[in-house]
Amino acid sequence: MTLTTSPFASASEDDDHFQEECAVYGIFGSIDAAAHTALGLHALQHRGQEATGIVSADGKKFHQHRGLGHVGKNFGEENKSILDGLRGYAAIGHNRYATTGETALRNVQPLYADLEFGGFAICHNGNLTNALQLRRELVHNGSIFQSTTDTETILQLIARSRHRTVTDKLIDAMKQVDGAFALVCLTEESVIGMRDPYGVRPLVIGRIGDAYILTSETVALDIIGAEFIRDVEPGEMVVIDTKGLHSFFPFHKAPKRFCIFEYIYFARPDSTVEGHSVYAARKAIGAELAKESPVEADVIIPVPDSGVPSAIGYAAAAKTPFELGIIRNHYVGRTFIQPTDHVRHLGVKLKHNANPSAIAGKRVVLVDDSIVRGTTSTKIVEMVRQAGAKEVHMRIASPPTTHSCFYGVDTPERDKLLASRMTVEEMGKLIGVDSLAFISIDGLYRAMGEAGRSEDAPQYCDACFTGQYPIELSDWEDGTTNNQLSLLAAAS
Ligand code: AMP
């Protein structure tokens, strides 16, 4: 992810604390390595739409392409020559999701460096929480940074490590960082995957023929007909080379804290993450929500697409008809990634339209996955009222988002989170609904098959709802995160 933007790079609202969610992919042992990677990244487009890149290795040389925009734009039919040029039996790739405003190519992954032992490329999903501190020390000691990403800090630490082998250097580097990481790296003769000890971000292992795959979600395996083998364990490093797959546990053991927001919003519903179908989890959350916050209504309407599975679960549990009362235009990107509030407003209108035939004269329950700034909900409610709804109730399939994520999900600074400055009642008034309710934190855990949230040792990372951050936030503790990282203005 991007640490912070350079002072000249973007509008002030996007200056700091914007995080990004990303997708990673790696394959070893296929003559179609780069093509498989492009397809995998295409399946993971929802995790990052700003930029994409692939680096491949043919045993002698590395080949790379990075570009802004979607996977199809960079690696599609019109750019077949690009894909053809990415030769080799091993490749890694990345989709970047950034709302920092800085779209500079220098931040697009995989990052590549010629190191003591040879070429090395790295992709990262997550966010390091002491990268700025480490970066300051590294710069002080003479390191030169090319990008403003925390991922480059890892590269620099590897380069400076006194350990002998590439895996020992990587372990040495990763023992110095705090935060969330799912990494996929490429060397001349291996693909290496690694997950932080808390397992905040997902990483799965798949197989097709003799080739092994490491990637963020199982949908990236499905797309090429690869078989899902297992999740990479929290704190595990897997090395894939010509001898097969080798597993190591180089870190101290930590309590598992997988990000619960992956189930609520981020992962694709057709993925299976950490043993749970994302679709089934969302339906169960909707059912639990219906139990907790019932309301007399004629129709249950999802806010598409993210609210659909939970609305199905809600409608079934409430024994109320499910209708498509809002239609989404699929040719507009996720509204959340528009860089300014003004554009975001426009985006919401472009993206959704009310369907009066399902709404007029009815008592409507709208179901959505989350409320962040409240922009989407306000517009949707207005639209539904204009389409003739008699009553509009809103049910949210997550607890109120009161805290920013520092581990890799894109949430704005705290003061922009509606729930951090308003009660549920105040939010309901602002959004313009007859009633508003969120699932409780225990209800969310129950939907995930737990008895409830364990206060002492929560089973997931739920910091965005509770403010309990499992991993130290060193970079944010000394209040100096706005220190400039680079004077180079972003160029896209
Ligand atoms: P807002 O208008 O800011 O309240 O946006 C809320 C909507 O954005 C939710 O309904 C989600 O579908 C979507 N959303 C929630 N979290 C994220 C995120 N981290 N990145 C992108 N979109 C999100």
369 lines ligand 1 (CB under 6 A): yes
Tokens representing 26 are 């790696």
CA of 181 to the centre of ligand 1 (A): 22
Q: Rounded distance, CA 23 to CA 27, Å?
A: 14
State the residue for tokens 């962040």.
372
Q: Which atom of ligand 1 is found nearest the CA of 369?
A: 10
Are 281 and 253 part of one and the same domain?
Answer: no
Query: Which domain-ending residue is among 199, 228, 257?
Result: 257
306 lines ligand 1 (CB under 6 A): yes
Q: Is the pLDDT of residue 289 over 90?
A: yes
Give the per-residue pLDDT at 481.
55
Whole-angstrom CA distances from 218 to 25, 206, 275 are: 11, 8, 11
Are 297 and 172 part of one and the same domain?
Answer: no
Are 372 and 334 part of one and the same domain?
Answer: yes
Mean pLDDT over the full length of the chain = 91
The mean pLDDT of 380-408, rounded to a whole number, is 97
- Per-residue confidence at 401, pLDDT binned at 50, 70, 90? very high
CATH number at residue 383: 3.40.50.2020
Evaluate whether residue 236 is within a structural domain. Answer: yes
Q: Rounded distance, CA 286 to CA 367, Å?
A: 8
Containing domain of residue 34, as a range? 23-257
Helices 375-386 and 341-351, packing angle to 10 deg: 40
Q: Rounded distance, CA 36 to CA 467, Å?
A: 39
338 lines ligand 1 (CB under 6 A): no
Task: Give me the half-sphere count of Cα atoms (radius 13 Å) on the Cβ side of residue 215.
Answer: 39
Strand residues in 272-384 grouped as ranges (E): 272-273, 276-277, 299-302, 326-328, 352-354, 363-368
Q: Rounded distance, CA 462 to CA 468, Å?
A: 7
Query: Is 387 within 8 Å of 355 (Cβ atoms)?
Result: yes
The residue type of 220 is A
pLDDT (tens digit, 9 = 90+) per residue, 30-64?
999 999 999 999 999 999 988 999 999 999 999 99
The mean pLDDT of 352-362, rounded to a whole number, is 97
334 lines ligand 1 (CB under 6 A): yes
The mean pLDDT of 387-399, rounded to a whole number, is 98
Q: Is the pLDDT of residue 344 over 70?
A: no
Are 361 and 241 part of one and the same domain?
Answer: no
Are 245 and 287 part of one and the same domain?
Answer: no
Query: Which domain-ending residue is among 223, 257, 291?
Result: 257
Q: What H or E segment, with its residue span, contains residue 117? A: none
As a 3-state breakdown, the chain gives helix, strand, coil percent values, each rounded to 5, of 35, 25, 45
Q: Which atom of ligand 1 is found nearest the CA of 306?
A: 12
Evaluate whether residue 379 is within a structural domain. Answer: yes
Are 314 and 432 part of one and the same domain?
Answer: yes
State the residue for tokens 């599609």.
76
Evaluate whether residue 14 is within a structural domain. Answer: no
Q: Is the pLDDT of residue 205 over 90?
A: yes
DSSP assignment of 379-393 = HHHHHHHHTT-SEEE
Task: Classify 127 in phi/psi space as left (phi over 0), alpha (psi -120 to 50) or beta.
Answer: beta
Give the per-residue pLDDT at 5.
32
Are 50 and 141 part of one and the same domain?
Answer: yes
Q: Rounded distance, CA 341 to CA 444, Å?
A: 30
Query: Is 65 within 8 Å of 82 (Cβ atoms)?
Result: yes
265 lines ligand 1 (CB under 6 A): yes
Helix (H, G, I), strand (E, B) or coil at 144: coil
pTM higher than 0.75: yes
Evaluate whether residue 165 is within a structural domain. Answer: yes
Q: Which of 370, 409, 413 to mutate to test the pocket of ligand 1 (most atoms within 8 A of CB)?
A: 370
Task: Give me the half-sphere count of Cα atoms (radius 13 Å) on the Cβ side of residue 360.
Answer: 4
- Per-residue confidence at 7, pLDDT binned at 50, 70, 90? very low
Evaluate whether residue 359 is within a structural domain. Answer: yes
Are 390 and 428 part of one and the same domain?
Answer: yes
CATH number at residue 85: 3.60.20.10
Q: Which atom of ligand 1 is found nearest the CA of 378?
A: 2
Q: Is the pLDDT of residue 16 over 50?
A: no
CA angle 64/32/114 to nearest 5° reads 30
Q: Total structural domains in the chain?
A: 2
394 lines ligand 1 (CB under 6 A): no
Are 437 and 294 part of one and the same domain?
Answer: yes
Evaluate whether residue 281 is within a structural domain. Answer: yes
Are 227 and 167 part of one and the same domain?
Answer: yes
Nearest residue by C-alpha to atom 5 in ligand 1: 372
Are 172 and 222 part of one and the same domain?
Answer: yes
Q: What's CA 58's distance to the chain center, in Å?
A: 30
pLDDT (tens digit, 9 = 90+) per residue, 97-129?
864 446 688 899 999 999 999 999 999 999 999
Give the per-residue pLDDT at 6.
32
CA of 289 to the centre of ligand 1 (A): 19
Strand residues in 97-252 grouped as ranges (E): 111-115, 118-128, 179-186, 191-195, 204-208, 211-215, 227-231, 237-241, 244-248
Handedness of CA 349, 352, 356, 359 (dihedral sign): negative
Are 252 and 392 part of one and the same domain?
Answer: no
pLDDT (tens digit, 9 = 90+) per residue, 74-98?
999 888 999 999 999 999 999 998 6
Evaluate whether residue 272 is within a structural domain. Answer: no
Evaluate whether residue 18 is within a structural domain. Answer: no
Active site residue 123: no
The residue type of 42 is H
